[in-house]
């Protein structure tokens, strides 16, 4: 399952999986654009030995928590396993602060809160079903059909059903797309919803830090599950896809260069409701080393200067394409051993060093509990 799968890195990743015969669910806000993407994906050439993919389109608006709840309820009612969830969709570059129908700052809800709710609702249900399957086995009843994917088979090559072969024990892998810009998110940690002040750049960075912190916290919660509910391959990963040449990313970089004036008249930056947010692709932060200074005087101006330098130097040469990012980094995070990438920050096709504070135990727990309250999720014994 991939959010924002109709464009950019989400679409490129869906194409990689479709070419290997996977069952892929494209989660999109705009059904028109989603249908066009689905049609194009249906023509994806298959790798040798792969069977035809199963492709689906589902609608979900991350700017509405009700939409997320309805979507997860509908999916969970189907009683099928979820092997891989890629939280890719994103919003950026609103020149002014906007609030969603739920009362949250738009970047924070679309990029983070809704993805947290999506993940919690879907993964908690997968874990609950493991308990039911265990009960079935103890009672001598046939295994629950919830653990059998439609069209799945225990035979065949790894290229024919990659998600199932990757997680043969019913494990679940969650990828949160983050960004190098998560380093700057620390500056706004105490004002996550930009109430005191608003900067499109820092608001976006804040959401990417929250995503990485959540990936690490979810990994800890996977590890703390009791043996009867856990699976060896369960893992959560924060993925920086690189500086990717998508329309969404270019709109964001243009905003950084023009002191807050972003383009909102393009296909990717005019969402329904006219909130001025560029959405549904996954742009990411500027290239550069890790270990950035976190002094307020240097981070924002320094990263914006790096953005300008990238753009002035010729973005088509320096920036990655969605295809190369999906193939070299996202798919590496999908296929790498869970013991290697679980709870890690992945960048440039390998494990990298993220902001040190992103792995802080207390920080992760506080963010999780705070997010649970903001999304109206009751505490439970599974994940929340």
Say yes or no to pLDDT of 107 above 90: yes
24 contacts 17 by C-beta, under 8 angstroms: yes
Q: What is the DSSP string of 280-343?
A: EE---PPP--S-----TTTHHHHHHHHHHHHHHHHHHHHSBPHHHHIIIIIHHHHHS-HHHHTT
Return d(Cα 282, Cα 322) in angstroms, integer: 9
Instruction: Sort 289 into a burial class: Cβ within 10 Å, 0-12 / 13-18 / 19+.
Output: exposed
Residue 320 backbone phi and psi in degrees, to 5: -80, 160
Query: Which residues participate in catalysis according to the annotation?
Result: 204
Dump pLDDT digits (tens) for 336-352: 999 999 999 999 989 99
pLDDT in tens, 278-299: 554 433 333 222 222 334 444 4
Percent of residues, the chain, with pLDDT higher than 90:
61
pLDDT of residue 320: 79
pLDDT value, residue 347: 94
Residue 142 burial (CB count, 10 A): 7
pLDDT recorded at residue 276: 41
Place of tokens 């129908």: 101
SS3 56: strand
pLDDT at 170: 84
Tell me the per-residue pLDDT of 168-213, one tens digit each, with 9 for 90 and over.
678 999 999 999 999 999 888 999 999 999 999 899 999 999 999 9
* Closest residue by Cα to residue 41 from 90, 2, 85: 2
Mean pLDDT of 101-112: 97
Instruction: For 34-74, write each residue's pLDDT tens digit.
Output: 999 999 999 999 999 999 999 999 999 999 999 999 999 99
* Extended beta strands in the chain, E state: 2-3, 23-28, 54-59, 84-87, 90-92, 173-177, 235-240, 278-281, 345-347, 350-352
pTM above 0.85, yes or no: no
What letter would DSSP give residue 382? S
Secondary structure (3-state) at 262: coil
Could you tell me the sign of the dihedral formed by the alpha carbons of 250, 254, 257, 260, in that order?
A: negative
Mapped onto helix, strand or coil, the DSSP state of residue 69 is: helix
Q: How far apart are the first and last CA of the chain?
A: 21
21 vs 70: CA distance, rounded Å: 28
Question: Max CA-CA distance within the chain?
Answer: 67
Q: Reading across the β-sheet that carries 235-240, which strands appear in turn?
A: 54-59, 23-28, 2-3, 84-87, 173-177, 235-240, 345-347, 350-352
Q: What is the pLDDT of residues 358-374, one digit of tens each?
A: 999 999 999 999 999 99
Neighbour-count burial of 348, counting CB atoms closer than 10 A to its CB (0-12 exposed, 13-18 middle, 19+ buried): middle
271/179 Cα distance (integer angstroms): 22
Q: Is the pLDDT of residue 129 over 80?
A: yes
Which neighbouring-strand residues pair with 296?
none
């Amino acid at each position: 399952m991939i959010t924002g799968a109709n464009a950019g890195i989400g679409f490129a990743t869906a194409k990689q999986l479709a070419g290997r015969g996977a069952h892929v669910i494209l989660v999109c806000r705009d059904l028109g654009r989603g249908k066009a993407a689905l049609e194009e994906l249906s023509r994806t050439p298959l790798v040798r030995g792969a069977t035809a993919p199963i492709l689906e389109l589902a609608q979900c608006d991350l700017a509405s928590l009700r939409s997320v709840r309805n979507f997860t309820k509908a999916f969970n009612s189907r009683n099928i396993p979820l092997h891989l969830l890629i939280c890719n969709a994103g919003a950026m570059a609103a020149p002014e602060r906007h609030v969603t129908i739920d009362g949250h700052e738009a970047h924070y809800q679309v990029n983070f809160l809704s993805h947290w709710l999506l993940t919690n609702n879907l993964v908690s249900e997968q874990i609950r079903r493991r308990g039911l399957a265990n009960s079935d086995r103890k009672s001598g009843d046939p295994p629950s059909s919830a653990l059998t994917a439609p069209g799945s088979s225990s035979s065949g090559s790894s290229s024919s059903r990659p998600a199932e072969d990757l997680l043969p024990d019913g494990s679940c892998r969650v990828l949160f797309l983050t960004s190098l810009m998560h380093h700057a998110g620390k500056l706004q940690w105490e004002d996550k919803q930009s109430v005191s002040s608003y900067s499109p750049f820092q608001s976006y960075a804040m959401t990417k830090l929250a995503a990485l912190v959540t990936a690490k916290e979810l990994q800890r919660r996977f590890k703390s599950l009791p043996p009867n509910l856990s699976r060896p391959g369960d893992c959560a990963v924060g993925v920086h896809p690189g500086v990717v040449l998508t329309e969404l990313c270019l709109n964001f970089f243009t905003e950084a260069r023009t002191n807050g004036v972003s383009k909102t008249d393009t296909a990717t930056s005019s969402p329904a409701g006219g909130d001025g947010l560029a959405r549904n692709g996954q742009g990411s932060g500027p290239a550069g080393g890790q270990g950035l200074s976190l002094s307020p005087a240097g981070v924002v101006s320094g990263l914006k200067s790096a953005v300008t330098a990238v753009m002035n130097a010729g973005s088509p040469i320096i920036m990655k394409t969605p295809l190369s990012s999906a193939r070299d980094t996202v798919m590496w995070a999908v296929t790498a051993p869970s013991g290697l990438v679980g709870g890690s920050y992945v960048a440039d096709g390998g494990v990298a060093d993220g902001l040190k504070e992103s792995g802080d135990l207390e920080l992760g727990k506080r963010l999780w509990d705070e997010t649970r309250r903001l999304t109206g999720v009751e505490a439970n014994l599974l994940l929340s």
